[in-house]
Amino acid sequence: MATLTETDYTRVASEAAESFIDVYYGALDGARNTISSFYVPSSTPENGRSLPNIAYNGEHITDGVAFQETWEKKMLFTHFDVQSVNVHVLNPCLSGRTDMSKSEAEWDMSLVMQVSGTVRLVERKEGPLRVFSDNLILVPNKVEVGGKGTGKQDEGRRWLIQGQTFRYVIIHPQPRSPVNTPQ
């Protein structure tokens, strides 16, 4: 039985976040036909709540395929600039097993990731620039998705989205403070 240290958890979470955001936001920008492969297969656990759980600007989307279709239809152009990433281990032992090797334990956790930045919409240079916030729950890919599995060079996905809440951030103008002028 291997016990992971806090350093191990931090390393696994950080490496997962770095590789995931590069590929995922790149897919949203240009490889749109691969978007659905970033999500867990549709399922309904015993609690009756379907997975993946996707909320996009307040709209519930049923699964990765529906999200991909929505994205391809509504988002004609996007360019994401991720500026902040925060990731933590959410559940350090999904299976409840205690008889795992260290490498098995590293693939038996869920992660919560907060991502923020800007996204250019509609047109590459002149399109509106929006601030976004994206919260994701990632789980290890235990099944083959899209027939690719988790093979070399991320042909498949090592981590999949189980839950996501994406929002545009509304920036309210700051009230102007009175200018102090000498009298």
**Which domain does 90 fall in, by range?**
6-169
Which residues, listed in sequence order, are joined to residue 121 by a DSSP beta bridge? 78
Does any domain span residue 102? yes
pLDDT of residue 105: 85
**Distance (Å, rounded) from C-alpha 148 to C-alpha 4?**
29
Residue 43 belongs to a domain with what CATH number? 3.10.450.50
- The pLDDT tens digits of the residues spanning 107-134 come to 888 999 999 999 988 877 788 889 999 9
pLDDT of residue 74: 87
Does any domain span residue 152? yes
Q: What is the pTM of this model?
A: 0.82
Cα end-to-end span (Å), the chain: 77
pLDDT in single tens digits along all 183 residues of the chain: 568 889 999 999 999 999 999 999 999 998 889 999 999 998 887 777 788 999 999 999 999 999 999 999 888 888 999 999 999 999 988 888 888 888 888 888 899 999 999 998 887 778 888 999 999 999 999 765 444 444 444 445 889 999 999 999 877 666 766 666 565
Does any domain span residue 96? yes
Does any domain span residue 181? no
| Closest C-alpha to 71, from 60, 58, 56 | 56
Does any domain span residue 154? yes
Does any domain span residue 99? yes
Does any domain span residue 174? no
**Residues constituting the chain:** 183
Does any domain span residue 122? yes
| Number of independent structural domains in the chain | 1
**Distance (Å, rounded) from C-alpha 14 to C-alpha 17?**
5
